[in-house]
Amino acid sequence: MRILLLISALAFFPAQAWAQASETAIVQQAVQLQQETPADTRIADLYEQLKASPKDPQTHLKLGEVYSERGLYPVAIISFRQALVFQPKLAAAHVGLSKIFRKQKQNAWEISEMVAAVEAEPENADLRLKLGTLYMEPQHFDYDKAKKQFQALKKMNSPLALELGTKMGLD
């Protein structure tokens, strides 16, 4: 009798485990769909905005950011560059390009886009800190250029000068 009970219990557990695994798979698919849908909706919404105003640099910028988040770097680059066509001094588009080029390990393009961002907004302390920090990394190392960013931050009386100075070893 015990053996019969044990066999029936074992027969029941695999079926229950299979049902649970199937249910888990369905829940995972639903969660994945929920995570993907907002990005797809954002892209669709941005396309609608582009239809209404195709020359709006902010819409192109937002579209580039969404594409970049999704790992669609070639179209993100196109969107960021299109934003720059309509607003050449849009620092955020240069920063977006710099981030993509960093992920692609295109060091020269990464730094040139960050330089362009600082040129577009020379009083933006965050951008100067990012550029100075890039100059302290081995692939971009240029102490003199980092020091120029440090001096600009000090001139602006930015507390970020201390952060960059620490990275430069200027305690």
The domain locations on the chain are 38-121, 122-171
Reduced to 3 states, what is the DSSP secondary structure of residue 151? Answer: helix
What is the architecture of the domain spanning 38-121? Alpha Horseshoe (1.25)
User: What is the spatial distance between Cα 145 and Cα 58, in angstroms, rounded to a whole number?
Assistant: 31
pLDDT means over runs of 10, the chain (171 residues): 43 44 58 55 91 95 96 96 97 98 97 98 98 96 96 96 93 64
User: What is the spatial distance between Cα 161 and Cα 147, in angstroms, rounded to a whole number?
Assistant: 10
Instruction: Output the pLDDT for position 7.
Output: 43
Query: Scanning the structure block, which residue is given the tokens 């640099």?
Result: 57
Report angle CA 93, 123, 104 to the nearest 5 degrees.
30
Instruction: Output the pLDDT for position 86.
Output: 97
Contact in structure between 30 and 43 (CB atoms under 8 Å)? no
Contact in structure between 146 and 130 (CB atoms under 8 Å)? no
Handedness of CA 5, 11, 13, 15 (dihedral sign): negative
